[in-house]
Structure 1
């Protein structure tokens, strides 16, 4: 059951990553768009919590940790796609399982069986292999710092999500806190950035550039649309954490990176190399191994 939930979550987060990658190349305000992403989740989660009659207990406050970690991770991921190499960012944002397996062992003593460890290693190796190429070398690692930060905070977000299930927190109240705090952060950053930019002298060049930018309404609504993928992805991953081992769930969800890379390949019309195909195959074998072992 957990494997299916984790796989569906990977699809949702893969779509989110594709939207982020495309949006980072457009003339829109990052903070306003991400405000829209989290606002959708906040409205949907609050509505669902009352619809299903779920209790707002103190354990649901773990959502505040999830929101903080997710907020920082999303911002770093978006910034990485904007200033760095998409292949490098895709690799690093696909490696939170490495963070999770270490933290889960240190905090909760979670260990893997020989078979599970073998499957975990296959998935991680596959993710690394799929984008290991000559263009990823020292001196050509644009945006690496943003990718590393995204990896760390996505991993911590997974840990906070698992912790909420250990406390038996209700799903939608927990997600409500997560999305509300995220909305607050991005709305604040957007407001501060707008206030600072309004104090600057407006030159003819700035006017020309802004003429190509998306309107605030369009940016916010687009963010709300992306927010649906984030909302359903979080529902699925928290449900998977409830039934599965933390590091294994995180590893399966991390294959969303393959969707992002497939998107970049299809739309730029570049064929996959043998190494990339090999990496994808290794990851899929790892998923099958989880099912069989």
Structure 2
């Protein structure tokens, strides 16, 4: 049953990736978007639990740690995309299952049988081939540090999810704490970014005024700041972020039962297959052609999933 939950979670996260890809092509405040994504998750988790009535035990506070690592992973990933090559960051964000399976072995003594190990290796190789299909070279590792941080933070988010289930924490209260924590952190990041933008705009305006006065004794009739223009209004951004948040919370609501029932590393690697959903979207909707490596990677990943399903 864990495989069904993990596969359904991968589909939800794949849809989230598609929406993120579509959103990235629009002029939008990213911090406001992520704030709304997490706000939506918190609201949905709390609202659904009013009907489900799941117990608020001490273990649900692991959700705060999940929210912290989720914030770090997302912030690092976006920072990496801003300063480095997308292929570098994408490669590292495909590797959290490796972190998960190694740490799960040392923390909880979880082991894989021969068939599970084989499927794990094949899937990871497939994901790496897909990620490596871009123009990635060892001589172009700018931004790699952010990719490494994102990789470990994503892995620690998965491990925290598993730890919450081991403590008997219910899904909805844990996710509510997680998303409230993420909302607060992204809210602070949004506030700081706006403050920096305001200070930058004022400095720019002062520089323009000083330059104009230096050229002419008379002050300019009109001197205005030129901040970065965001075409999407905050209201529109927030509403869209809450729509994206539905796919995010849906994936997490399926993910936690998968961790409760399955082996940590295997659940993590099946969930990581969401990249295949995004790849298929790029091929059939965006009409992007598959490279040879992407075909090999997709085939290997699907073969690994079949082996894992037979071994489950």
TM-score between the two structures when normalised by the length of structure 2: 0.87
**Distance of aligned partners of 1:190 and 1:208 in 2 relative to their CA distance in 1, 3 Å threshold:** closer
* Alignment-derived partner of residue 226 in structure 2: 207
Pick from 257, 275, 282 the counterpart of residue 293 of structure 2: 275
1:247 paired residue number: 265
193-202 or 55-64, which deviates more: 193-202
Secondary structure of 2:226 counterpart: helix
Could you tell me how far 1:205 is from its partner in structure 2?
9.1
Mapped partners of 2:290, 2:225: distance in 1: 40
Q: Once structures 1 and 2 are overlaid, which stretch shifts more, 170-179 or 191-200? A: 191-200
Deviations 1:35-81 (A, max 9, x none): 00000010111112221111211111010111111111122223334
Change (3 A) 1:134 1:18: closer
1:35 corresponds to 2:35: yes
**RMSD (Å), alpha carbons:** 2.0
1:187, distance to aligned residue in structure 2 (A): 0.7
Per the TM alignment, residue 162 of structure 1 is displaced from its structure 2 partner at its CA by 0.4
Which of structure 1's runs of 4+ aligned residues deviate more than 6 A?
none
List runs of 5+ in structure 2 lacking aligned partners.
206-222
| Offset at residue 269 of structure 1 (A) | 3.8
- Structure 1 residues 126, 57: closer, same or farther in 2, change over 3 A? same
Q: Which residue of 2 aligns with 1:63?
A: 63
Match in the other structure for 2:78: 78
Q: Is the 8 A contact 2:133 2:291 kept in 1?
A: no
Contact 1:91 1:257 survives alignment (8 Å): no
Structure 1, unpaired ranges of 5+:
none
Would you say the 8 A contact 2:93–2:151 is kept in 1?
Answer: yes
Instruction: Output one character per residue of 1:180-221: Cα deviation in whole Å (capped at 9) or x when no partner.
Output: 0000001111112222322331548963741x5321111111
Task: For residue 278 of structure 1, report the CA deviation from its aligned partner.
Answer: 1.1
Deviations 1:145-196 (A, max 9, x none): 3322221111000000000110110111100100000000011111122223
Q: Secondary structure at the match of 1:207?
A: coil
Structure number with larger C-alpha Rg? 2
Q: Counterpart of 2:110 in 1: which secondary structure?
A: coil
- Structure 2 distance, partners of 1:19, 1:77, is 16
Q: Out of 264-273 and 60-69, give the one that drifted further.
A: 264-273
* Total equivalences in the alignment: 292
Q: Which runs of structure 2 are paired with 1:27-176 in the superposition (5 Å)? A: 27-133=27-133, 135-176=135-176
Secondary structure at 1:26's aligned position in 2?
Answer: coil
- Counterpart Cα distance in 2 of 1:77 and 1:37: 16
What is the TM-score of this pair, normalised by structure 1?
0.92
- C-alpha distance in 1 between matches for 2:165 and 2:126: 29
